[in-house]
Amino acid sequence: MSDQQEREEPREAPLFEAPPIEEQERMVEAVLFASAEPVTVRDLEARMPHGCDPAEALVRLRQRYQGRGVQVVRVGDAWAIRTAPDMGFLMQKETVEVRKLSRAAIETLAIVAYHQPCTRAEIEEIRGVSVSRGTIDQLLEMEWIRFGRRKMTPGRPVTFVVTEEFLDHFGLETARDLPGLKDLRAAGLLENRPPPGAIPLGKSEDDEDELNSPETGQTELFED
């Protein structure tokens, strides 16, 4: 067979064609609706038929849900269907959950969120007090922070970063969407305290929490 005949011979069509983009959009919608956790594009590719374009289907689905009671939102590198922010008050009785956190846990979480990735030593330097292992363990168990990469410094200390669960809980797309200092003070999550250097590092956070216990008239809460 000559080269010209080979070029003229039609190529074989693939055995299976990708579904229409409208059908792919429905597939993505079904997976996001049924999933309790945000889903990545890679997860969608693994679930959908060969040749599908879940990224394009997500764009179309997100546009279709604009202005509706629920929205397709990005959570870190994943996607989820969530109640529209202005409709959240309707879910108040079903979703409100009060999490009691000590001042130490709140400050540690805020430092990780705003300075990630950061080491335990860096957290202690910013707070001005030693961080107990219990505080870190509590935030790890809540899955609001996780271990990051080791820092390229002597000792190779581990770092901490916030998780997608943290972003999803507070309705954030990325950590860059965190509120500013004025917003935090207006919400009562920050106080006009002395700079960290004014508190000796040798002082333990247990002593500090004792000063701010409910018996002294101050409680620290995180609310949805």
pLDDT (mean) for 163-190: 70
**Which pLDDT belongs to residue 39?**
94
pLDDT (mean) for 113-125: 88
**Percent residues over pLDDT 70 in the chain:** 69
**For 17-36, how does the pLDDT look when each residue is reduced to its tens digit (9 = 90+)?**
888 999 999 999 999 999 98
**Which pLDDT belongs to residue 133?**
83
**Which pLDDT belongs to residue 198?**
38
Q: Is the confidence at residue 177, as pLDDT, over 60?
A: yes
| 21-85 topology per CATH | Arc Repressor Mutant, subunit A (1.10.10)
Q: How far apart are CA 34 and CA 145, in angstroms?
A: 25
Strand residue runs (E) in the chain: 39-40, 70-75, 78-83, 98-100, 118-119, 145-147, 159-162, 221-223
Average pLDDT, the chain: 75
Query: Between 146 and 94, where is the model more confident?
Result: 146
83 Rama sector, left if φ>0, alpha if ψ -120 to 50, beta otherwise: beta
Phi, psi of 223 (to 5 degrees): -120, 150
Q: How confident is the model at residue 89 (pLDDT cuts 50, 70, 90)?
A: confident
Q: How far apart are CA 76 and CA 220, in angstroms?
A: 28
What angle do the packed helices 54-64 and 21-34 form, to 10 degrees?
80
Q: Show the tokens assigned to 218.
A: 């101050």
Taking alpha carbons only, the member of 141, 143, 185, 136 closest to residue 167 is 143
Q: What is the pTM of this model?
A: 0.46
Contact 221, 99 (CB under 8 A): yes
Q: Show the tokens assigned to 211.
A: 């000063």
Residue pointed to by tokens 């990051």: 148
Most confident of 11-25, 69-83, 131-145: 69-83
Contact 57, 27 (CB under 8 A): yes
Written out in words, the top-level CATH class of the domain with range 98-223 is: mainly alpha
Residue pointed to by tokens 């879940």: 54
Q: How confident is the model at residue 88 (pLDDT cuts 50, 70, 90)?
A: confident
**For 36-61, how does the pLDDT look when each residue is reduced to its tens digit (9 = 90+)?**
899 999 999 999 998 899 999 999 99
DSSP string, 46-110: HHSPTT--HHHHHHHHHHHTTTSSEEEEEETTEEEEEE-GGGGGGGHHHH--EEE--HHHHHHHH
pLDDT (mean) for 3-8: 49
**Which pLDDT belongs to residue 169?**
79
Contact 146, 137 (CB under 8 A): no
**Which pLDDT belongs to residue 129?**
84
Domain locations along the chain: 21-85, 98-223
Q: Is the confidence at residue 201, as pLDDT, over 50?
A: no
Query: How many other C-beta atoms lie within 10 A of the C-beta of residue 11?
Result: 5
